Chain A
Amino acid sequence: MAKLHRPLSRRVVLAGASAAVAAGIMPRRAHAALAPLKVGVIHPTSGFMAMIGQICNRGAVVAPAILKDLGYPDLEIVYGDTESNPDIARAAGERLIDGGAQILVGAFDSGQTTTLAQTAEQRKIPLMIDIAGAPQITEQGYQYVFRNFPRAPDIVGGALNVHKLVFAASGKTPSKVVCLYRNDTYGNAIKGALDAMVPKFDMPYKIVEFIAYDPQSRDLSVEVAKAKATDAEVVLAVSVANDAILLTREMVKQRWEPWGVLSAGPGWYDQSYRKALGKLGNYVISTVPWHDPRKKLTQLMLQALDKKYPGEAVDSSTAYVFEALLIVADAYKRAGSAAPQALVEALRATNIPASDSITIGNGKGIFFDAKGQVNGIPMAGVQNQDGLPKVVLPLASAEANLVFPVPGWQARV
């Protein structure tokens, strides 16, 4: 009782005033009482997609410290490995949830993400999809699944726009294109979108043949021979790094020199591709959602990655994982609770201004539609030059000049 009636001393008033001022100056610290959110980050870090999965995880390695410095709550990352296998993705998701993960982030590959989404929905744990383009994932009426990545039709629509820009900028327009694509969930989604959208976009070329290949194939000589026989001027590829390497090697061996390779997907800009092929890996043009190096958060991410992985180029896989964690941290901060329903409601109410994000984005910011999808994410034209992926289109964001048609194989080495 005595304490209650104690008169306010000058020291107490000053301390209280200081605390109030500090709270006013640093409002973002208001979440300090929140316990760390346990985030299950799941990617294919072994198996045939191991390289890209490990590159994805880099975003999760650097994100928590940067986000914490910016006033977001602590994220405790626990990692899962899909082993490049959709069935194992399901089991790995279950294990993470059983181990206490309060939200999942993943999983790079559409097939693996599809099974992971089923797990998340069954277990009623939110899943923030960082990378996966198959449209059906957010068409199932799921309540716990959110995606900040373009769907296959968006990827294809954006890619076709970039193709037109390439032809306009170079003054060279092909009439025949051959499409080599992985026979998996993502590859088939892109193929389906190409079938539907190429006629609508009034493209100057005809896709003379679609050649599906086994994503786990160790030898793509037949596929390249078949593509070469079409006499197409340009290759349109839907690959990941391993098969992109095999395709390039075979093109060199079979002395096939098309005007260029246009990639609608990952693989051809990956570090593993560029490292494996050296100069032969230059000049591929990838149409991909990319990070915006001018944004403040992107610069922080790039600095942290450069410190952690010196000399290694950053690609959009790392950036999209980072951005997924930004969305998660933002939702947790607003939710003030790690309860699944609270997180889901906060995710639904996400509205991160474009200037606070990492990727080029739609210019309006990050917010989800009723299906849990972020819309309007544009594609950039990224060309490998001097061993690094560089934005060449749209011209407003270009950091290097477009080279098309590309030099022959012999001219590169």
Chain B
Amino acid sequence: MLEVYLNQIASGALTGLVYGLATLGLSVIFGVCRIINFAHGEMMVVGMYLALMAFRWFGLDPLLSVPLVGAILFCCGYALQGALINRLIDVPEHMQFIMLTAIAIVIVSACLLIFGPDLQNAPLAYAYDSYAIGPFLIDKVRILAGGAALVVAGLLGAFFRWTYLGKSIRACGDNLTGARVIGLNVKQLFAFSFGLGAACIGAAGCILLLLVDVQPYLATDYTLLAFVIVIVGGLGSLAGALVSGVIIGVSEALAGLLVQPSLKSVFSFGLLILVLLLRPQGLFGRQQG
């Protein structure tokens, strides 16, 4: 039975890395722009459909379509921020909520119109492969998905740490007034950050297509999951999002084994309640004020 638990921990951790990557987008957008992206799951579904089309039209493996889809989502995110969301920076939060929820509904309806309600997937040659290493039996798709999530997250971390643009964006997130004082073009940086977050979400969508079939209604579940992960990890914390994704992935896997699989999400939400009560800023978040 031990190997069953070990297998599930490994599997949950790999899936959690993809969840974490998906949440990085939400975290970047909130951390810099202070906008809570309620269209998060919907944008990820768009990423999944783009990867699916790249697979069907060009035979491109969803993993290889990450740069392409990331670039498309970056442009969309940049344009969205510049055209609509920048106008909402200083309005009450409920206005942002309504605007982004409206955008989410438009995206779902458009997906329904274009792709229909059916589940669709990319039938990859290696979809059913698994590796047996001692007592471990892990499917290839999860290893690739987890690995890709780590690579994308690593690149994002490196961008923020070592590039001038990344440092400028962090400056905006840390101290908006200070960033303005030293002459940073804040609006442009906001748009770039939103684009970067959207690119991250698109990349996660490509990778997620390896694990789940896509349909328009998938979005709501993943928006909710992303909020759970980002709140547990700490709003605005990149490392927190990734680690929290792994914690949620593993806890759901273990809860499914120890209790009843249909109750596994109870553990994620239980963890969310605990964190909100005991450490409201999240495991890796900074105390406000």
Contacts and interface: CB of A to CB of B under 8 A. Distances in A.
A170 B260 CA distance: 34
B260 A47 contact: no
B256 A222 contact: yes
A214 B262 contact: yes
Contacts of A409: 128
A213 B261 CA distance: 5
B261 A242 contact: no
Interface stretch (A252-260, A294-302, A347-355): A252-260
B55 to A, nearest CB: 15
A50 interface: yes
Interface string B1-41: 10010011001100100000000000000000000000000
A256 to B, nearest CB: 10
A249 B117 CA distance: 21
Given A222-B253, A222-B256, A252 B217 contact: no
A222 B119 contact: no
A51 interface: yes
Contacts of B217: 46-48
Contacts of A45: 117
Contacts of A217: 261-262
A195 to B, nearest CB: 16
A183 interface: yes
B117 A223 contact: no
B261 A47 contact: no
Interface string B144-180: 0000000000000000000000000000000000000
B112 A46 contact: yes
Interface in B180-234: 211-213, 215, 217-218, 221
A254 B118 contact: no
Nearest to B211: A219
B77 to A, nearest CB: 25
B11 A212 contact: no
A225 interface: yes
Contact of B262 (A213, A221, A229, A276): A213
Interface centre among A218, A229, A242, by most B CB within 10 Å?
A218
Contacts of A212: 260-262
Range of interface residues on A (Cβ < 8 Å): 20 to 34
Given A50-B117, A229-B1, A253-B139, A222 B260 contact: no
Contact of B261 (A46, A211, A218): A211
A371 B237 CA distance: 60
B42 interface: no
A206 interface: no
B98 interface: no
Contacts of A303: none
Range of interface residues on B (Cβ < 8 Å): 35 or more
Contacts of A50: 116-118, 215
Interface in A193-243: 211-214, 216-223, 225-226, 228-229, 242
B137 A254 contact: yes
A254 B130 contact: yes
Given A213-B261, A214-B262, A219-B211, A46 B117 contact: yes
Given A48-B215, A225-B4, A249 B128 contact: yes
B88 interface: no
A217 B256 CA distance: 12
A201 B127 CA distance: 40
B265 to A, nearest CB: 7
Contacts of B261: 211-214, 217, 220, 222-223, 226
A242 B15 CA distance: 20
Contacts of B112: 46
B95 interface: no
Interface centre among B139, B212, B213, B262, by most A CB within 10 Å?
B262
Contacts of A47: 117, 217
A182 to B, nearest CB: 9
Given A229-B1, A255-B137, A221 B11 contact: yes
B127 A249 contact: yes
Interface centre among A217, A225, A249, by most B CB within 10 Å?
A225
A51 B119 CA distance: 8
B61 interface: no
B236 to A, nearest CB: 27
Given A219-B212, A223-B261, A229-B1, A255 B8 contact: no
B264 interface: yes
A218 B264 CA distance: 13
Interface in B70-120: 112, 116-119
Contacts of A249: 127-128
A217 to B, nearest CB: 8
Contacts of B117: 45-47, 50
A183 B262 contact: yes
A228 B11 CA distance: 15
A143 B181 CA distance: 75
Interface in A276-303: 276, 280
Given A47-B117, A51-B119, A219-B15, A225 B260 contact: no
A297 to B, nearest CB: 30
A391 to B, nearest CB: 28
A222 B8 contact: yes
Contacts of A280: 128
B215 A255 contact: no
Contacts of A245: 119, 213
B257 interface: yes
A51 B118 contact: yes
Interface in A14-68: 45-48, 50-51
Given A214-B265, A219-B212, A249-B128, 12 more contacts: A46-B112, A48-B119, A212-B262, A217-B262, A222-B12, A222-B253, A222-B257, A225-B257, A228-B4, A253-B129, A254-B137, A255-B130
19 contacts: A48-B119, A48-B217, A50-B117, A213-B262, A214-B262, A218-B212, A219-B211, A219-B212, A221-B11, A222-B8, A222-B12, A223-B256, A225-B7, A229-B1, A242-B213, A254-B139, A255-B130, A255-B137, A276-B121
